[in-house]
Amino acid sequence: MASGRDMPLTRADILARYLRLREISKSLHEEVLRSISDDALLKQARRLGLARGKTLLLDDMDEIYYVYDLAIYTAPPDRSRAIDRYAKSAKFEAQSDERLMLDAMRRSQFAILQIEQRHDVVGLIATDILHNSKVWLLDVGLESSMDDGELIATRLLTPGPFSMTAGVNVPFEIEMLEPICMLLPQRTGNSKLSQIADNRHFAEAVYKVGLADGVMDRMAYFDPAGGA
């Protein structure tokens, strides 16, 4: 199956489709990371308080994934994003799953999701409170661990009717908004919520506050496909 347009109806078939795209997204993330210099990663780690000089300061090795996320999906106004630079050189067939997933990665949106209910077949129905939209979220780990009404901050990839996370999540609480807003540039103060969410500084602020609050103590990563 080369596209997500015609979704099968059974849980097993949808999960198989999700796992296929998840494996592709993991491979693409690894490919993009190979094009990012160690200096660029260290600079991003320092911005999150996860490095001093050229030394990483990690309480948990999984904290590095927040660095990877920002290095891949964000960039200063005068620089191109690593994901876009990679896309220029990638040679995938137009209708391939790899191209479908790469395009979804380039269109990624940072979101704060409120879990509404379980989907009738598989996954979760959530509300993206920053973009005021409904999301059909497929994530085996989140489906089994999150309760209705809970909030989570994540980067969404949408390769078809469903969305998946780009790989990192932050359990979210309303009390986090004040310290997050204090980290944002002043010029974003009068922006719409959707514009603030799309600002490269927002995800960084969410990760920084989450890490300071011990986010890794509240996260358990479950990868049904295996690997990191």
Judged against a pLDDT cut of 50, whether residue 224 lies above it is answered with: no
**Amino acid occupying residue 1:** M
Judged against a pLDDT cut of 80, whether residue 5 lies above it is answered with: no
pLDDT grade for 8, boundaries at 50, 70 and 90: low
The structure tokens 């600002």 sit at 199
Other residues' Cβ atoms within 10 Å of the Cβ of residue 218: 11
DSSP secondary structure letters along 12-38: HHHHHHHHHHHHHHHHHHHHHHHTS-H
Q: What is the pLDDT of residues 78-130, one digit of tens each?
A: 999 999 999 999 999 999 999 999 999 999 999 999 999 999 999 999 999 99
Q: What is the pLDDT of residues 116-172, one digit of tens each?
A: 999 999 999 999 999 999 999 999 899 999 999 999 999 999 999 999 999 899 999
Domain residue limits, the chain: 11-217
**Contact indicator for 170, 155 with CB cutoff of 8 Å:** no
- For the sheet containing 109-118, what is the strand order? 133-137, 124-128, 109-118, 151-157, 164-172
